[in-house]
Structure 1
Amino acid sequence: MDSSSNPFRPRRDNQQFFYASSSSPSPSSASSAAYYSDRFSLSSLWSSFSDFLSDRIMPVLPAPASSAASSAGSAYKDKSAPRMNPAAAPLMFLPYRSKARLWQRVLQVAPFVVVLGFFAFIFSHFVYHSAPKREVLVNKPTDLYTEDQFLTSYGISKQDLAQMLPAPKQLGLEKASLVMLVRNSELNDALKSIRMLEDRFNRHYRYPWVFLNDEPFTPEFINYTTGMASGLTKYGLIDKSQWSIPDHIDQDKVQKNMEEMVSKNVIYAGSMSYRHMCRYNSGFFFRHPLLAEYDWYWRVEPGVEFFCDQTYDPFTFMKDHDKVYGFVMSMYEYVVTIETLWDTTKDFVRKHPEYLAADNSLDFFVDGHAPSAKGDKEIDGDYNLCHFWSNFEIADLRFWRSQAYLDYFDHLDKQGGFFYERWGDAPIHSLAAGLFLPKSKIHHFGDIGYRHPPYSRCPQDEGSHAGGRCYCSRKDHFDDDGYSCLPRWWKVAGQSVGAGIKKQD
Structure 2
Amino acid sequence: MASGEAFYGLIPEEDWNTPDYINETKYNESLEDFVERDIIYGGSRSYRNMCHFNSGFFFRQKLLASYDYYFRVEPGVEYYCDFQMDPFRLMRENGKKYGFVISLLEYPETIPTLWNTVEDFLHEYPTSQHPNSAVGFITTKEPIGPDSLVTDSELPYNLCHFWSNFEIGDLNFFRSDRYLDYFNYLSRSGGFYYERWGDAPVHSIAASLLLDRNEIMHFEDIGYTHTPFFTFPDSASMRIGKRCLVPEERKNIDILPHSCLPRWWKYGSGKRFTREYFHENEYI
TM-score by length of structure 1 reads 0.50
Aligned to 2:262: 487
Corresponding residue to 2:40 among 254, 264, 267: 267
* 8 Å Cα contact 2:83/2:242 also seen in 1: no
* Equivalences, count: 262
Answer whether contact 2:108 2:159 (CA < 8 A) is retained. yes
State the distance in 2 between where 1:295 and 1:275 align: 26
Partner in structure 1 of residue 157 of structure 2: 383
Structure 1 residues 291-325: Cα deviation after superposition (integer angstroms, max 9, x where no partner): 00000010000100000001111111101111110
Query: 1:6 corresponds to which residue?
Result: none
Q: In the TM superposition, what are the counterparts of 1:93-492 in structure 2 within 5 Å?
A: 228-367=1-140, 382-467=156-241, 469-473=243-247, 476-492=251-267
Q: Is the 8 A contact 2:81 2:239 kept in 1?
A: no
8 Å CA contact retained: 1:458, 1:476 = no
Measured after TM superposition, the shift of residue 476 of structure 1 is 1.8
- Secondary structure at the aligned position of 2:8 is classed as strand
Once the two structures are superposed, residues 180-199 of structure 1 have per-residue CA deviations (whole angstroms, 9 ceiling, x without a partner) of xxxxxxxxxxxxxxxxxxxx
Is 1:496 aligned to residue 275 of structure 2?
no
Give the whole-Å Cα distance in 1 for the aligned partners of 2:35 and 2:228: 21
TM-fit CA distance, 1:473: 4.3
Distance in 2 between the 1:368 and 1:452 partners? Answer: 26
Moved more, 477-486 or 389-398: 477-486
Deviation at 1:471, TM superposition (A): 1.3
* 8 Å Cα contact 1:300-1:392 kept in structure 2: yes
Greater fraction helix: 1
| Per-residue deviation, 1:356 | 1.0
2 CA distance for matches of 1:407 and 1:465? 42
SS of alignment partner, residue 451 of structure 1: strand
Q: Which amino acid aligns with 1:335?
A: P
Percent identity (aligned): 50
**Residue 304 of structure 1 contacts residue 450 of structure 1 at CA under 8 Å; is this kept in 2?**
yes
* 8 Å contact from structure 2 (residues 133, 208) kept in 1: yes
Q: CA deviation at 1:256?
A: 0.9
Alignment partners' CA distance in 2, 1:350 and 1:395:
27
Name the amino acid aligned to 1:299. R
* Separation of aligned partners in 2, 1:489 and 1:395: 18
- Deviation of 1:465 (Å): 2.6
The CA deviation string for residues 15-39 of structure 1, in whole angstroms up to 9 with x for no partner, is xxxxxxxxxxxxxxxxxxxxxxxxx
1:441 Cα deviation after fit: 0.6
Asked if structure 2 preserves the Cα contact closer than 8 Å seen for 1:327 and 1:445, the reply is yes
SS where residue 9 of structure 2 aligns?
strand
Tell me, in whole angstroms, the C-alpha distance in 1 between the residues paired with 2:13 and 2:251.
Answer: 41
Q: SS state of the match for residue 345, structure 1? A: helix
CA deviation map 1:325-346 (0-9, x unaligned): 0000001111111111101001
Q: 1-side partners of 2:136 and 2:247: how far apart?
A: 32
Q: Do the aligned partners of residues 469 and 413 (structure 1) sit closer, same or farther apart at CA in structure 2, a change above 3 Å counting?
A: same
Which residue identity does 2:117 align to in structure 1?
T
- Over 3 Å counting, the alpha-carbon distance change for 1:431 and 1:466 in structure 2 is same
Offset at residue 429 of structure 1 (A): 0.4
From the superposition, tell whether residues 467 and 247 of structure 1 become closer, same or farther in structure 2 (CA, over 3 Å): closer
Q: Secondary structure at the match of 1:443?
A: strand
Q: Rate the CA distance shift 1:316–1:468 in 2: closer, same or farther, 3 A.
A: closer
- Counterpart of 1:97 in structure 2 is none
| TM-score normalised over the length of structure 2 | 0.89
Letter in 1 for 2:263: R
Residue 487 of structure 1, CA deviation: 1.3
Counterparts of 1:400 and 1:302, CA distance in 2: 23
* Residues 141 and 158, structure 2, Cα contact 8 Å, conserved in 1: no
Gaps of 5+ in 1: 1-227, 370-380, 500-505
The RMSD of aligned alpha carbons is 1.6
Q: Which structure has the larger Rg over C-alpha atoms?
A: 1
**Any gaps of 5 or more consecutive residues in structure 2?**
143-154, 276-284
**Ranges of 4+ aligned residues in structure 1 off by more than 4 Å:** none
Q: Which one-letter code corresponds to 1:282 in the other structure?
A: S
- Quick one: structure 1 residues 405 and 265, their matched pair in 2 at CA, closer, same or farther if it must change by over 3 Å? same
Measure the CA separation in 2 of the matches of 1:320 and 1:358: 22
Does the residue aligned with 2:7 lie in a helix, a strand or coil?
Answer: strand
Q: Shift in Å at residue 484 of structure 1?
A: 1.1
1:497 shift after superposition: 2.5
